[in-house]
Amino acid sequence: MWLDAFLSAALALLGAVASPIVALVGVPDGVVFGLGVAAIGCALLLAAFGAITAGLFIMRLHAGQYEMPAGLRLPLPAGMRPPNTG
C-alpha cells in the first residue's frame, strides 16, 4: 500500500512538473521519450499493484474474512481511515 501511494505521488509529480517544462522549454526528443517511458512504467506498476491488492482482497472475501487485516496500514489521513484500522 505504501508503494502504491509513493508511485501515485511520483506519477502525479512527473505529470505536473514535467509536462509544463516539456511544453514551454522545448527539451530534446530523448528526454521527452524518457519521461514518457517513466510515466507509462509508473502507470503499469500502479495497475499491477492494484490488481494484486484487489485479488488478495477478493480471495479473503471468498474465504469468509470480511474484516480488513489487523496489520494493514492505510496511507490515509486520520479522518479518512476506517474505524477498524487504528
pLDDT, tens only, 1-37: 567 777 788 888 878 888 888 888 888 889 889 888 8
Q: At 44, list the grid cell.
A: 503499469
User: What is residue 35's predicted lDDT score, i.e. its pLDDT?
Assistant: 82
- pLDDT tens for 30-79 read 988 988 888 888 888 888 888 888 888 889 899 998 887 777 776 777 77
Q: What phi and psi, each to the nearest 5 degrees, are found at residue 72? A: -70, 130
User: What is residue 84's predicted lDDT score, i.e. its pLDDT?
Assistant: 65
Contacts of 46 (CB under 8 A, 6+ apart): 4, 7, 8, 11
CA dihedral (72, 75, 78, 82) positive or negative: negative
User: What is residue 63's predicted lDDT score, i.e. its pLDDT?
Assistant: 92
Q: What are the sequence ranges of the domains in the chain?
A: 2-65
| Virtual torsion, Cα 79, 80, 82, 86, nearest 10 deg | -50
